[in-house]
Amino acid sequence: MASVTPEGLLTPAEALRDLPSVVVDDDGVRAVGFGKVLPFAVLGLADDASGPWAVLDDAGRLLAVYEVYEPSSPRHADGERSAKPAVVVAPAEPGSSARGTHG
């Protein structure tokens, strides 16, 4: 481990570069940060998309990894497909830091 340097580390987004990715706006950043289930349309996904997807903010930072949400009963009455977070790695507020201070 002594040979590992900060310059040699990948960002989370770089580490997941092989996943298809979507970029969300500030409202999407908040929703993703709270782990909300989102309609495909909000994520800009085609109805036949299969995931998983890296969800990025407009600066290219990884917010979460989302996957297809298939509840036992439809979540959306109109039949629209949804995605849910497999993991959320970002805070809920745009521009906030995961290393923020309390207090």
Phi-psi region of 32 (alpha: psi -120 to 50; beta: other; left: phi over 0): alpha
Question: For residue 95, is it within any domain?
Answer: no
Percent of the chain with pLDDT over 90: 60
Full domain range(s) for residue 54: 15-82
pLDDT band at residue 21 using 50, 70 and 90 as cut-offs? very high
List residues bridging with 84 in a β-sheet.
67
Question: For residue 94, is it within any domain?
Answer: no
Which CATH number is 63's domain given? 2.30.130.10
The whole-number pLDDT of residue 94 equals 54
Within 10 angstroms of residue 98's Cβ, the number of other Cβ atoms is: 9
pTM of the model: 0.78
The domain tally of the chain equals: 1
- Residues 91-99: what's their mean pLDDT? 54
Q: What is the pLDDT of residues 37-83, one digit of tens each?
A: 999 999 999 989 999 999 999 999 999 999 999 876 554 556 788 99
Torsions phi, psi for 12 (to 5 deg): -55, -40
